[in-house]
Structure 1
Amino acid sequence: MAQTRAPRADAVRNRKKILDAAREQITAHGPDAGMDEIAAAAGVAVGTLYRHFPTKNDLVTAVIAEFLAQVAEAAEAARERHASGSRAVDEITGFLAYVTKETATNRAVKAAARTLGADPVGGDAEARAGAALATLIQAGQADGDIHQDVTVDDLYLLFNNVPTEEPPASRDRWLTLVLTGLTTHTRTT
């Protein structure tokens, strides 16, 4: 059986540069960001970009998959902090604030994915995030801080409706209102 060779260091660096440039270009220019412009911003030849990502859809899918992996890592870190003694409701609140900010920052990438039909939803990252969030929700419900009918799907519904075009103060206000619906605590502001 032949051994699979690890990617060359320069290939790994180029892939990272391409993903970083794609994220920046799509965020700045939306779905109209061109592959030539992305390659130039990454400092690689267009052929190098196409070797890594044969289509624009492949590139956008990779950018979004990378973002979903970061979300999964954040959810798992919140679960670990809870396991070390923090309150589940505080971890859910912090996680929602993180996703709200990051989704707003990546709003053009999200729009590009819808436009291009990239659909990385599902898979390992979503399963990891869902498992971590389910643990936090159940713990918050057991503590009496989270309404009993709240589910992971409710959090996903919220993520898909973050007011990404609004300024930070409006997004913070949205989050305050959302948390009132999720938690048993009354609003103080």
Structure 2
Amino acid sequence: MTNTRPPRADAIRNRTKILDAARNQITLHGPNVGMTEIAAAAGVAVGTLYRHFPNKADLVAAVIAEYTAHVADDAEAAHRRAAAGSPALCEITTFLGNVVEASATNHGVKAAAHALGAYPTDTTAEQRASIALAKLIEHGKAEGQIHPDITVDDIYLLVATAPTDQPPAVRTRWLALVLTGLTTQPRAAVA
């Protein structure tokens, strides 16, 4: 019989501090920031960092996995609200805005993941997000607010083109512009 104790509270806190520090340090200093600098920013010993993440690729993959889980949670919450009667277009708009802002925060981490080839191997969160988005899009189509040919892949394509390295005003304008491609409504004035 294997001993499967839950992680200690201090281990959970350390992991959270390491992930937050990695995200911040990579965003500030780029993908070449060292593990020593990340450990110092987290306020943990380098050995503690390596116990949680044997190498930088594992650390970056964990940050990306955390981001993807957050996106999945957000997509599922948006779908639940739409299913409860909130306008689907409003939920899609909010979801896209949230994803773009989270992507802007994680822009450096995504660059590091690409450079290191460090992507999560568990695709459960991505699948959760896709399922929730598909249902959300169907609500929007049923309400007559979303073009009938819009798919989850279209949403992913839009997010992939978001100006995450630009200031918030540019990202807000981008969102207003891309929404016109999703909706059946006439184009509103774009600020």
Same fold (TM over 0.5): yes
TM range (shorter): over 0.9
Provide Cα deviations, 1:59-98, integer angstroms capped at 9, x if missing partner.
0000010011110111111111112210111101110111
Partner of 1:10: 10
Q: For structure 2, which runs of at least 5 residues remain unmatched after alignment?
A: none
Partner of 2:82: 82
Structure 1 residue 72 corresponds to structure 2 residue 72: yes
CA distance in structure 1 between the aligned counterparts of 2:128 and 2:159, rounded to whole angstroms: 16
For residues 13-162 of structure 1, the aligned pairs below 5 Å read 13-120=13-120, 123-162=123-162
TM-score, normalised relative to structure 2 = 0.95
Amino acid at match of 2:55: T
Deviation at 1:122, TM superposition (A): 6.1
Structure 2 CA distance for partners of 1:122 and 1:16, relative to 1, 3 Å = closer
- Greater displacement, 84-93 / 4-13: 4-13
- 4+ long deviations beyond 6 Å: none
Partner of 2:172: 172
Provide Cα deviations, 1:84-134, integer angstroms capped at 9, x if missing partner.
210111101110111111111211111111111112276111111111110
CA distance in structure 1 between the aligned counterparts of 2:68 and 2:25, rounded to whole angstroms: 19
Amino acid at match of 2:106: N
| Pairwise CA RMSD | 1.2
Is residue 83–residue 139 contact of structure 2 (8 Å, CA) maintained in 1?
no
Deviation at 1:3, TM superposition (A): 3.7
SS of the aligned residue for 2:30 comes to helix
How many residue pairs are counted as aligned between the two chains? 189
Structure 2 CA distance for partners of 1:53 and 1:122, relative to 1, 3 Å = closer
Q: State the identity as a percent.
A: 65
Amino acid at match of 2:181: G
- Greater displacement, 59-68 / 154-163: 154-163
Amino acid at match of 2:11: A
- Greater displacement, 161-170 / 113-122: 113-122
Q: For structure 1, which runs of at least 5 residues remain unmatched after alignment?
A: none
